[in-house]
């Protein structure tokens, strides 16, 4: 019998229906939808313009305040491909990661809590607020990368003068998907300091050394990775040949384990020098990018995504992508991905785009939504 006739035959359809009420399903019906020959993620390539995010954060200023309940003034990136997906009822940014923009105003306090998700913050605007993670007040400046390891108390408070905005990324969808969510509010509004301010950045010299007493820390020992040190690292790297896909790129590491900064999330800062034209490749991990500085475009599965400072975009799993800096200044992209998850489950694979000298043919241009 022909394959399609088989699926449509009365006998098969009757049988499929007859087992449904016993909470049973026919594998022959499910297999083509579930076991693809290669990744067919529901995550789609998408780009959010900074103008839109900023306008909505400004509107949210008066609608949400930390005093009105809720935890954070954060607006998260909903991947259109992941909307209305069972069993979520909410959309994440990729199938494993959630990203958001968070705004805190001078005088505000976002209460302390702890949870089993790991969090990172990348600071994009302002100064003067601190995040307090397990008793350490970490004062934040533009370009800093902060870790909030799973299970540690953390809250934010703004003692400065200007609004502060940062990117959050957490493994919320992954932890939700495997049924591992725990969340606990701190008994008081915000945890009081128990160690000196900026304790870990000072004691670890940005990750280069560790104090004699900290030989076996249980958690990532470094809470903030300062922009000045990241910039220095990129400048050092820039004396050499760029990576053909990613230009000059460094990964944030946990200095005690020499692994990724977070167990389920890897993060990078990359510099694409003026005129950089990257080659295309693809990998099983999915990435979320934030344009920290500069402008250019990325081609994702043949579609051109033009980006400029402040924008966010998603490169789905197994999607061909290449980056190009079209401006006359260096471009800096912050990105994070679920590469550590792919590595742990033996799913990490990558592939170079061999045709056309590594350059995709552009078939379409993405039109972003503006406020």
Binding residues vs ligand GTQ (CB under 6 A)? 72, 74, 100, 102, 119, 154, 168, 170
Question: Rounded to the nearest whole angstrom, what is the least distance from the CB of residue 154 to ligand GTQ in the complex?
Answer: 6
Contact 104, 161 (CB under 8 A): no
Peptide bond into 87 cis (omega under 30): yes
- Residue number, 45 or 77, with CB nearest to ligand GTQ: 77
Residue at shortest CB range from ligand GTQ: 168
- Residue number, 103 or 280, with CB nearest to ligand GTQ: 103
Question: Rounded to the nearest whole angstrom, what is the least distance from the CB of residue 58 to ligand GTQ in the complex?
Answer: 18
- Residue number, 50 or 248, with CB nearest to ligand GTQ: 50
Question: Rounded to the nearest whole angstrom, what is the least distance from the CB of residue 270 to ligand GTQ in the complex?
Answer: 23
Question: Rounded to the nearest whole angstrom, what is the least distance from the CB of residue 325 to ligand GTQ in the complex?
Answer: 29
- Residue number, 70 or 211, with CB nearest to ligand GTQ: 70
Sign for the pseudo-dihedral over CA of 51, 58, 101, 172: negative
Round to whole Å and give the CA distance between 72 and 45. 27
Question: Rounded to the nearest whole angstrom, what is the least distance from the CB of residue 21 to ligand GTQ in the complex?
Answer: 40
Question: Rounded to the nearest whole angstrom, what is the least distance from the CB of residue 61 to ligand GTQ in the complex?
Answer: 17
Q: Which two tokens stand for residue 18?
A: 């007859």
Question: Rounded to the nearest whole angstrom, what is the least distance from the CB of residue 139 to ligand GTQ in the complex?
Answer: 16
- Residue number, 141 or 343, with CB nearest to ligand GTQ: 141
- Residue number, 56 or 72, with CB nearest to ligand GTQ: 72
- Residue number, 91 or 324, with CB nearest to ligand GTQ: 91
Question: Rounded to the nearest whole angstrom, what is the least distance from the CB of residue 349 to ligand GTQ in the complex?
Answer: 30
- Residue number, 154 or 283, with CB nearest to ligand GTQ: 154
């Amino acid at each position: 019998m022909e394959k399609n006739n088989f699926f449509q035959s009365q006998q098969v359809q009757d049988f499929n229906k007859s087992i449904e009420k016993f909470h049973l399903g026919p594998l022959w019906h499910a297999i083509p939808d579930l076991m693809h020959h290669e990744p067919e993620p529901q995550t789609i390539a998408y780009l959010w313009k900074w103008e839109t995010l900023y306008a909505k954060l400004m509107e949210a200023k008066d609608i949400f305040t930390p005093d009105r309940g809720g935890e954070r003034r954060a607006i998260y990136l909903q991947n259109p491909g992941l909307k209305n997906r069972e069993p979520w009822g909410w959309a994440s940014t990729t199938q494993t990661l959630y990203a958001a923009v968070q705004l805190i105003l001078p005088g505000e306090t976002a209460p302390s809590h702890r949870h089993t998700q790991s969090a990172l913050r990348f600071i994009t605007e302002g100064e003067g607020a601190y995040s307090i993670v397990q008793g350490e007040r970490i004062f934040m400046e533009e370009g800093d990368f902060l870790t909030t390891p799973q299970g540690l108390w953390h809250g934010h408070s703004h003692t400065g003068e200007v609004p502060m905005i940062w990117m959050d990324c957490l493994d919320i969808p992954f932890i939700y998907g495997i049924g591992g969510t725990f969340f606990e509010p701190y008994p008081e509004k915000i945890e009081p300091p128990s160690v000196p301010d900026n304790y870990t950045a000072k004691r670890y010299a940005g990750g280069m050394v560790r104090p004699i007493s900290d030989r076996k820390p249980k958690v990532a020992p470094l809470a903030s990775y300062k922009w000045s040190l990241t910039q220095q690292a990129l400048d050092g790297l820039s004396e050499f040949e760029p990576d053909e896909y990613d230009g000059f790129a460094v990964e944030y590491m946990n200095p005690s384990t020499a692994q990724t900064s977070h167990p389920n999330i890897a993060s990078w800062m990359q510099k694409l020098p003026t005129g950089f034209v990257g080659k295309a490749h693809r990998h099983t991990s999915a990435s979320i990018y934030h344009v920290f500085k500069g402008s250019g475009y990325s081609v994702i599965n043949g579609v051109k995504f033009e980006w400029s400072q402040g924008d966010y975009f998603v490169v789905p799993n197994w999607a061909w992508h290449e980056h190009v800096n079209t401006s006359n200044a260096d471009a800096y992209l912050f990105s994070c991905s679920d590469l550590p998850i792919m590595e742990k489950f033996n799913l990490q694979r990558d592939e170079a785009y061999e045709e056309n000298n590594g350059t995709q043919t552009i078939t379409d241009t993405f039109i972003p939504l503006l406020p």
